[in-house]
Amino acid sequence: MNNIQLDSEGRLRHFLSIQGLNRELLTRVLDTAESFAAIGAQQVKKVPLLRGKTIVNLFFESSTRTLSTFELAAKRLSADVMNLNVRTSSTKKGESLLDTLRSLEAMHCDMFVVRHSDSGAAHFIARHAPSHVSVINAGDGCHAHPSQAMLDMLTIRRHKGSFPNLRVAIVGDILHSRVARSEIHALSTLGTGEIRVIAPRTLLPRSVDSLGVHVFHNMKEGLKDVDVVVTLRLQRERMQGALLPSEREYFRLYGLTEEKLVLARPDVIVMHPGPINRGIEIESAVADGPHSVILEQVSHGIAIRMAVMAMAMQVPVPEAKEAR
Question: Does 224 carry a binding-site annotation?
Answer: no
Question: Does 127 carry a binding-site annotation?
Answer: no
Is residue 126 domain-shared with residue 58, that is, in the same domain? yes
Is residue 272 domain-shared with residue 225, that is, in the same domain? yes
Is residue 48 domain-shared with residue 111, that is, in the same domain? yes
Question: Does 178 carry a binding-site annotation?
Answer: yes
Report the CATH number that the domain containing residue 216 is assigned in CATH: 3.40.50.1370
The whole domain housing 286 covers 146-298
**For residue 300, how far is the Cα from the chain centroid?**
11
Looking at residue 40, its pLDDT comes to 82
Question: Does 93 carry a binding-site annotation?
Answer: yes
Cβ atoms of residues 155 and 296 within 8 Å: yes
Q: How far apart are the first and last CA of the chain?
A: 30
Is residue 284 domain-shared with residue 306, that is, in the same domain? no
Side-chain-side CA neighbours of residue 92 (13 Å): 4
Share of the chain above pLDDT 70, in %: 90
Judge whether 8 lies within some domain.
Answer: no
Q: Could you tell me the pLDDT band of residue 207, with boundaries at 50, 70 and 90?
A: confident
User: Tens digits of per-residue pLDDT, 107-136?
Assistant: 889 999 999 988 999 999 999 888 899 999
Is residue 90 domain-shared with residue 110, that is, in the same domain? yes
Is residue 38 domain-shared with residue 176, that is, in the same domain? no
Judge whether 157 lies within some domain.
Answer: yes
Judge whether 9 lies within some domain.
Answer: no
User: How far apart (Å, rounded) are the C-alpha atoms in residues 195 and 186?
Assistant: 11
Strand partners, 116: 140
Question: Does 148 carry a binding-site annotation?
Answer: yes
Is residue 140 domain-shared with residue 157, that is, in the same domain? no
Cβ-Cβ contacts under 8 Å for 264 (sequence gap 6 or more):
169, 223, 224, 225, 226, 227, 229
Looking at residue 209, its pLDDT comes to 86
User: How far apart (Å, rounded) are the C-alpha atoms in residues 115 and 141?
Assistant: 9
Is residue 116 domain-shared with residue 230, that is, in the same domain? no
Phi, psi of 96 (to 5 degrees): -65, -45
Is residue 122 domain-shared with residue 153, that is, in the same domain? no
Looking at residue 64, its pLDDT comes to 83
User: How far apart (Å, rounded) are the C-alpha atoms in residues 256 and 252?
Assistant: 9
Is residue 278 domain-shared with residue 263, that is, in the same domain? yes
Cβ-Cβ contacts under 8 Å for 236 (sequence gap 6 or more):
none
User: Is residue 275 reached through a cis peptide bond, with omega within 30 degrees of 0 on the bond before it?
Assistant: yes
Question: Does 316 carry a binding-site annotation?
Answer: no
Domain total in the chain: 2
> Residue 172, class by beta-carbon neighbours within 10 Å (0-12 exposed, 13-18 middle, 19+ buried)?
buried
What length is written for the chain? Answer: 324
Looking at residue 89, its pLDDT comes to 42
Question: Does 75 carry a binding-site annotation?
Answer: no
Q: Could you give the 3-state DSSP secondary structure of residue 319?
A: coil
Is residue 41 domain-shared with residue 161, that is, in the same domain? no
Phi, psi of 23 (to 5 degrees): -60, -40
Question: How far lies 152's CA from each of 69, 202, 228, 272, in Å?
Answer: 14, 25, 11, 9
Q: Could you tell me the pLDDT band of residue 237, with boundaries at 50, 70 and 90?
A: low
Judge whether 318 lies within some domain.
Answer: no
Judge whether 266 lies within some domain.
Answer: yes
- pLDDT mean across residues, the chain: 90
* Sign of the alpha-carbon torsion through 282, 287, 289, 290: positive
User: How far apart (Å, rounded) are the C-alpha atoms in residues 39 and 208?
Assistant: 39
